[in-house]
Amino acid sequence: MFRAVYKLKQEAGVESFMNYVTFNEQSMVFTLRTEHTMYQMQVRQFGILCHLYYGPFLGEDELDYRIIELDRGFSPNPYEADRDRTISLDILPQEYSGYGNGDYRVCAAEVDFQDGSAALDLRYQGYEVLKGKYKLPGMPAMFGDDTQAETLEIRLADEYSGANAVLMFGIFPKLDLITRAVRFENLGDRSYRLRKVMSAQLDFLDGPFELIHFHGRHTMERMPERLPLMHGMARFGSRRGTSSHQHNPFAILCRPDTTEERGLCYGLSLVYSGNFLFEAEVDQMNQVRVMMGIHPAHFWQEVQCGDVFYTPEIIMGCSEDGLTGLSHLFHDGMRQNLMRGKYVFSPRPVLINNWEATYFTFDEEKIFSIAEKALDLGVDLFVLDDGWFGKRDSDFSGLGDWTVNEEKIRGGLKNLSERIRSLGLKLGLWIEPEMVSEDSNLYREHPDWCLRVPGRLPVRGRYQLNLDITRQEVRDHVMEQIISLIEECHISYIKWDMNRSLGNVYSSVLIPQKQGEVFHRYVLALYEMQESLITRFPDLLFENCSGGGGRFDAGMLYYSPQIWCSDNTDAVDRLRIQYGTSFGYPITSMGAHVSAVPNHQTGRSVSIRTRSVVASCGTYGFELDPEKMTKEEMQEARKGLEEYKATENLRLCGDFYRLSNPFMNQDFCLWQFVSKEKKETLVEGVILRHQANSPVFYVYLRGLKADARYQRTDTGRVYSGAALMKAGLPLPLELGEYQPVRMIFREIP
């Protein structure tokens, strides 16, 4: 039988909690509440912790009646049930399942014990409610004080082994979000090995559900795909050492009738930047089990006696207001209680990056001339991209040597920095700290400092190898060079890139029994490096990147307010990339630039006005050579930047609406920002196709006050909110494809 080891803590005479976590000692039902949702669990016979409900708030009802216990053939029963064949872990909806205990569905945890057994039977032991939000040592997670969040911990234990799983729930009532993580402890007298450990499991008693996931490839990331869940397994993930271009650790589960504006849907975002796995199973009784966490491929974690292992966090949201409502939950939650630093809600410097202007071929005079000309565009920051360090004239050398190449930058980087800053611009740098070239001083001096399998030739990526940053001396060496550069040259911005997947995954300093920990140790080391950087330089504008969007996840947003959305800067392709990204991530987390035409990735040419509108749906910048722009293009570029800055606060703090789907609508792609007070709205987008004798297309705004009056700023015409939302507006019929759309409306008395 279970024992109530943990008890509710409350100081005498003090109202300790917000009462968003309740426990009924008679029915053994836990209820977690947010303003619009509730999550319910029950400790049933023999200490089996069952999931009852997650969805819209239903009041005071306890929903244990939803579980019907019947004898199901070939679904075994716990020994304690004796002759009662209606109780089976193979059928019951559980909060966190283990392998080998009679549940034949996909499980959340698999453990190898020293005697060769693998059965893990987790039963309830007790609970604790705490003020504020739990923390995860060394890992990113949502944060919240005791006015914002509450924590519930439920202890499950396998009585035969000493393996304990503490389920951690973070409740954010006002954000309508719940977070999940698991703390595995070893309270026994023998070590065990975790082989699979998911961060959260959700068991639904009924379907049907559809899954929306976001697949892709380098330069075409986060393409949404919606498919019905069928009997059996649906799974996706990454084994590349990063969250990857190919699959994103964000998923949506929704009812088949769910649309942008209405319908029930759930979102799960893994706050982790390494290998991950999402699994969904529809079982024999049409029940649905969903889970996400670290990918078990080449993963194992030794848990010694007295040790603790924490899983990454999952952010969960539920909305009845369709996919847009769900996106708003994640946008607000990440901006308010995940992303940190001065730039989350503050205007960011507009930058120009020299990569597509020069690639590796430049000197200090060329760089200075680009910076000088960029003043006419109105930028605030010049970013010196790849090629400024070591012997770096191509992809084949130089990585790891973070000292300036004075053959290119005569007089040194400090001198160039002073010249650029004398123009009134700030200076930023591109770096790739996790990598090493074989043709580098670092590799010649420390060839053992990279990940490499003994006795095998390495697999190269972009002709480079991964540094073994799990080693403290490697991290220290790299960070000392970078910190010195930032301080000496007054660097205001860092773009941290990572241009290959992890390969040759073996650390020369770990014993064979611990090689399964390398992938996870690598991610923890990355987090340590980035935490040290932003702690030392709190005013630094920090942007993450991995060949563009190869590590675009909630974990990275804990360290940087923006991530380079994709190496593809083509405005038309970016419509689809930014559309998919917007489902789970704030708009101002997406690095977006106005680049040159013909575009370097696609060869497509569109007007600079169109490129400006698309880049405005992200963190605005330039990726081109202004010396090659015409006078007219410079004027249009300045106008686009001025319009972006005039509406930046609306983009930073407002609500975002997807007004059309560029995968379904071949005629136009439109989006909308609305201020939280609903007093101002901005509609932007691109006409994708122009037809001869074209029909008129209408756009229907959203999120406004129906009874308010809104004036369009460019025409002066006044509309009711109801008219804008219900009757719509005709789109312009100018000739030519890829024409921009931009309209601003403000409430008037």
**DSSP codes of every residue in 707-745:** TSEEEETTT--EEEHHIIIII-EEPP--SSSSEEEEEEE
- pLDDT recorded at residue 1: 30
Over range 654-678, report the average pLDDT: 97
**Residue-wise pLDDT tens digits, 602-660:** 999 999 999 999 999 999 999 999 999 999 999 999 999 999 999 999 999 999 999 99
d(CA 61, CA 563): 43
Mapping DSSP onto H, E and C, the string for 159-210 reads CCCCEEEEEEEEEECCCCEEEEEEEEEECCCCCEEEEEEEEEEEEECCCCCE
What's the mean pLDDT when you consider all of the chain?
95
Is-catalytic flag, 747? no
pLDDT tops 80 at residue 13: no
pLDDT tops 60 at residue 319: yes
Compute CA distances 147 → 7, 20, 129, 130, 537, whole Å: 21, 12, 14, 12, 29
Token pair recorded at residue 737: 């494809």
Q: Where do the domains of the chain lie, and which CATH numbers do they carry? A: 21-337 (2.70.98.60), 351-433+473-498+540-653 (3.20.20.70), 658-748 (2.60.40.1180)
Over range 508-520, report the average pLDDT: 97
pLDDT tops 60 at residue 16: no
Helix 631-646 crosses helix 608-616 at what angle (to 10 degrees)? Answer: 20
- pLDDT recorded at residue 3: 35
pTM: 0.96
- pLDDT recorded at residue 19: 80
Compute CA distances 498 → 119, 274, 411, 455, 555, whole Å: 39, 12, 28, 26, 15
DSSP result, 472-510:
HHHHHHHHHHHHHHHHHHTEEEEEE---S---S---TTS
Compute CA distances 741 → 93, 127, 671, 699, 703, whole Å: 49, 55, 10, 11, 19
pLDDT tops 70 at residue 472: yes
Confidence of residue 691 (pLDDT cuts 50, 70, 90): confident
d(CA 675, CA 289): 38
Q: What are phi and psi of 648, to 5 degrees?
A: -65, -40
pLDDT tops 60 at residue 17: no
Over range 128-156, report the average pLDDT: 97
Over range 37-48, report the average pLDDT: 98
Provide the CB-side half-sphere exposure for 603 (13 A, CA).
0
Token pair recorded at residue 417: 């920095």
How remote is the C-alpha of 198 from its chain's centroid?
17
β-bridge partners, 544: 496, 563
In this predicted model, which residue has the larger pLDDT, 8 or 569? 569
Is-catalytic flag, 553? yes
pLDDT tops 80 at residue 735: no
pLDDT tops 70 at residue 15: no
Confidence of residue 18 (pLDDT cuts 50, 70, 90): low
Confidence of residue 9 (pLDDT cuts 50, 70, 90): very low
Identify whether the C-beta of residue 667 lies closer than 8 Å to the C-beta of residue 690: no
**Residue-wise pLDDT tens digits, 261-311:** 999 999 999 999 999 999 999 999 999 999 999 999 999 999 999 999 999
Over range 172-185, report the average pLDDT: 98
- pLDDT recorded at residue 690: 86
**Residue-wise pLDDT tens digits, 571-588:** 999 999 999 999 999 999
Query: If you ran DSSP here, which 8-state letter would residue 120 be given?
Result: -
Catalytic residue among 210, 633, 667, 747: 633
Over range 595-608, report the average pLDDT: 97
Catalytic residue among 553, 623, 643, 648: 553
Mapping DSSP onto H, E and C, the string for 548-594 reads CECCCCHHHHCCCCEEECCCCCCHHHHHHHHHHHCCCCCHHHEECCE
**Residue-wise pLDDT tens digits, 362-386:** 999 999 999 999 999 999 999 999 9
- Using DSSP bridges, classify how beta strands 590-591 and 562-564 pair: parallel, antiparallel or unpaired: parallel
pLDDT tops 90 at residue 29: yes
Over range 397-419, report the average pLDDT: 96
Q: What are phi and psi of 312, to 5 degrees?
A: -65, 170
Least confident of 639-648, 658-667, 726-735: 726-735
Over range 496-508, report the average pLDDT: 97
